[in-house]
Amino acid sequence: MLNKKKIAILGATGSIGTQALEVFREHPDAFEVEVLTAANNADLLIKQSQEFLPNTVVIGNEALYDQVFQALDPLNIKVWAGENALCRVVEMEELNLVLTAIVGYAGLKPTMSAINAGKHIALANKETLVVAGALITQMAAEKGVNIYPVDSEHSAIFQCLVGEFHNPIEKIVLTASGGPFRGMKTEQLRQVTKAQALKHPNWEMGAKITIDSASMMNKGLEVIEAKWLFALRTEQIEVVVHPQSIVHSLVQFQDGSLKAQMGLPDMKLPIQYAMGYPERLASTYPRFQFTDYPQLTFEQPDPKSFRNLGLAYEALKKGGNMPCILNAANEVAVENFLKDRIGFLEMSDLIEHCMAKASFMEKPTYEDYVASDEETRNIATGFIN
Ligand code: NDP
């Protein structure tokens, strides 16, 4: 690579953010850290900045500004604070790419600012496309912005599509590990604890997505994300459970041929592919050994026991702001499950309740999404209390 890509990492202190920085360590000649951001973890943000010397950092929590400023000002690193700073920093002229690794709805606004400023996006924050897929994809098309998927399943599909030009897709198949509760029925799921839900068998991830994986909501969100990334109809998106997480997803073309992308479950691969595209950069990450995986197995999801996947399909079919309602309800559900205020199965009850109660809008604007998110959070909080 002749010119280094200058990259902003929104959410640098999280699971995706820290793994992205490992990719930077592996490829100092290809990528340069221009911006790092965090919400509250000032200590790690400072440590990362001392190593990678970004141009600017943003700390979301304004109360932590002084601490970060005092540590980084001597290094000539600019320090900004607050939510608006997050939206302004992505407009920096030098930036070539913005990696959106903030968790949840909070990722929407800065992603929109980055697209408006014409920056290409490496998208980990799937909630952005779940909430406002129609708006985001339209904005990206108008601004000539590419959205490179970071989610391993969507990266797999993206990789399968390279070189296929305009060959029509018959369907895609998203693989799901099934999470820690695979095979459990409703009665067993009623008893599961937060600690069990936080132990994912194959992936080390942030708390929210780990709970989403255990409840199958993660796959539901990914179905909606896939619709927007690859311009698919709902009927073209299937889910299959694949406990080993080696086949990351598949595309079936109109001749019946299936292409799959495989590899060890390691998020550094899709992060690196999104940042380096169209190049495949060399890496020293561990390699897959067939003898470690004598069997790769596949099974149907169980929609009766794991209702969230069905709710996500329902939201996608309904369209409009229904996926935004689903997402807001789910964020409140996960937050309260993590605080031991509701049980595992009550998360689906809560989401279903919000989908029935929140105001439906066929063609929402950005302001409508904001209002819908707020209304749903109020309904959800009322349901819990
Ligand atoms: P984490 O919870 O580990 O990290 C979240 C990051 O976002 C942290 O840097 C956090 O800062 C920051 N953050 C949290 N809330 C806010 C906010 N309100 N405003 C600004 N910044 C905020 O999440 P993950 O890395 O696991 O996930 C990030 C995104 O990537 C999610 O959308 C997830 O679905 C997606 N993803 C994650 C995968 C994974 O393997 N982890 C795989 C595929 C997709 P602080 O540390 O200071 O709180």
CA 16 to ligand 1: nearest atom: 25
Q: Which two tokens stand for residue 256?
A: 């019946």
Give the tens place of pLDDT for each residue, 263-306: 999 999 999 999 999 999 999 999 999 999 999 999 999 999 99
The H or E element containing residue 79 is strand 78-81
Q: The tokens 């030098």 sit on which residue?
A: 94
Query: Hey, is 175 helix, strand or coil?
Result: strand
Determine which residue's CA is closest to atom 4 belonging to ligand 1.
Answer: 14
Tell me the CA–centroid distance for residue 218 and ligand 1, in Å: 14
User: Distance (Å, rounded) from C-alpha 40 to C-alpha 61?
Assistant: 6
With the most atoms of ligand 1 within 8 angstroms of its CB, the residue from 13, 41, 127, 209 to mutate is 209
DSSP 259-305: EEEE--S-THHHHHHHHHTT------SPPP-GGG-S----B---TTT
Ligand 1 atom 18, closest CA: 106
Residue 18: burial class (beta carbons within 10 Å; 0-12, 13-18, 19+):
middle
Distance CA 227, CA 129 (A): 9
- Ligand 1, residue 128: give the atom nearest the CA: 32
Domains of the chain, each with CATH number or no CATH: 5-149 (3.40.50.720), 154-318 (no CATH)
CA of 15 to the centre of ligand 1 (A): 7
Residue 204 burial by Cβ neighbours in a 10 Å radius (0-12, 13-18, 19+):
exposed
Q: Are 10 and 90 in contact (CB under 8 A)?
A: yes
User: Is the peptide bond prior to 180 cis by the omega test (within 30 degrees of 0)?
Assistant: no
CB atoms within 10 A of CB 134: 16
Global pTM reads: 0.98
Q: Are 384 and 370 in contact (CB under 8 A)?
A: no
Ligand 1 interacting residues, C-beta cut-off 6 A: 11-17, 38-41, 60, 101-103, 106, 124-127, 151, 203, 205-206, 208-209, 267
Going from the Cα of 238 to the center of ligand 1, the distance in angstroms, rounded, reads 26
The DSSP secondary structure of 180-241, one letter per residue, reads TTTT--HHHHTT--HHHHT--SS----HHHHHHHHHTHHHHHHHHHHHHHHT--GGGEEEEE
> What residue type is 248 in one-letter code?
H
How far the first Cα of the chain sits from its last, in Å, is: 55
Looking from the CA of residue 203, the nearest atom of ligand 1 is 40
Provide the residue-wise pLDDT of the chain in tens; the chain has 385 residues.
568 999 999 999 999 999 999 999 999 999 999 999 999 999 999 999 999 999 999 999 999 999 999 999 999 999 999 999 999 999 999 999 999 999 999 999 999 999 999 999 999 999 999 999 999 999 999 999 999 999 999 999 999 999 998 899 999 999 999 999 999 999 999 999 999 999 988 888 999 999 999 999 999 999 999 999 999 999 999 999 999 999 999 999 999 999 999 999 999 999 999 999 999 999 999 999 999 999 999 999 999 999 999 999 999 999 999 999 999 999 999 999 999 999 999 999 999 999 999 999 999 999 999 999 999 999 999 999 9
Q: Which helix (H) or strand (E) holds 35?
A: strand 31-38
39 Cα: distance to centroid of ligand 1 (angstroms): 10
Q: Positive or negative CA dihedral for 373, 377, 379, 380? A: positive
The C-alpha atoms of residue 238 and residue 210 are separated, in whole angstroms, by 21
**Which residues neighbour 268 within 8 Å (Cβ) at sequence distance 6 or greater?**
19, 22, 23, 26, 283, 285
**Relative to the CA of 207, which ligand 1 atom is closest?**
2
